Amino acid sequence: MRAQSIHPQPAPDQVFVVGHWYHVPCVFFPYLGYPAQWWPVIGPRHTDERIIGFSDEHFHVDIRFVTKVQRRIMDAYCEHRRDGVHTVFASPIAQRYQWSDFGPPHIPAEVPTIKRKQCKFVFPDYTAIGRWHQPLEDAYECAKMTNGICPHQGAPLYGLEVRDGVVTCPLHGLRWSLSTGELVRRTLRTEVHQRCDGELQ
Ligand code: FES
């Protein structure tokens, strides 16, 4: 069998190439009630209790590297949730989450295992707006994205498509300007708003 060459992780201004093989962090998990298997993940294990109100520790699936079977599992999940493909990107791999608690008790390892995975497609833009987006944008209004890391939960923003100079974090959808590092809002500010210099507007 011909050896598959592994490509280095893309630079901040490049995207993962469909068809190429990469080293990708994975967790072994019985996701959505299916037998445990290796799921590619993006970003650190975290909770979203503050602002989003989701207290279970979880990872997010890196949809770029799922297998065809895993993609079918996730598509069925989206259909079930009835809110479209964007749910895929917000889908947590957690122990007690209502869509994930069918399998035997298991918490993914704190440090995922690196596996060889083929990039199947690029991350589509995360266009759905969840109930958490406005409070999340309010909270991160004055934050800055530096070194390609989202300041919310530390998700790596390398290898993602950039549109009009803006990159969208695939975990919870915050958008960041690549040139300034500043937040690019997509919801209206709440009425009473703290300016970044601490003054009330
Ligand atoms: S990690 Fe939450 S929006 Fe980036």
Domain map (residue ranges) of the chain: 21-177
Tens of pLDDT along 3-14?
678 998 887 778
Q: Which residues pair with 116 in a beta bridge?
A: 23
User: Ligand 1 pocket, 155 CB below 6 A?
Assistant: yes
The pLDDT value given to residue 143: 96
Residue that is written with structure tokens 């065809």 in the block: 68
Which residues sit opposite 23 in a β-bridge? Answer: 116
Q: Report the predicted TM-score, pTM, of the whole model to 2 decimal places.
A: 0.86
Cβ(184)–Cβ(137) under 8 Å? no
Question: What's the pLDDT at 100?
Answer: 46
Percent of the chain, pLDDT > 90?
Answer: 38
Please determine, for residue 146, whether its predicted confidence score (pLDDT) is greater than 60.
yes
Distances (CA, A) of 73 to 20, 39, 88, 93: 23, 12, 10, 13
Evaluate whether 152 touches 60 at the Cβ level (below 8 Å).
Answer: no
119 CB within 6 A, ligand 1:
no
- Amino acid, single-letter form, for residue 73: I
Higher pLDDT, 66 or 99: 66
Residue 98: what pLDDT? 46
Ligand 1 within 6 A of CB of 171: yes
The residue assigned the tokens 């919310």 is: 152
Q: Which of 125, 174, 184, 185 to mutate to test the pocket of ligand 1 (most atoms within 8 A of CB)?
A: 174
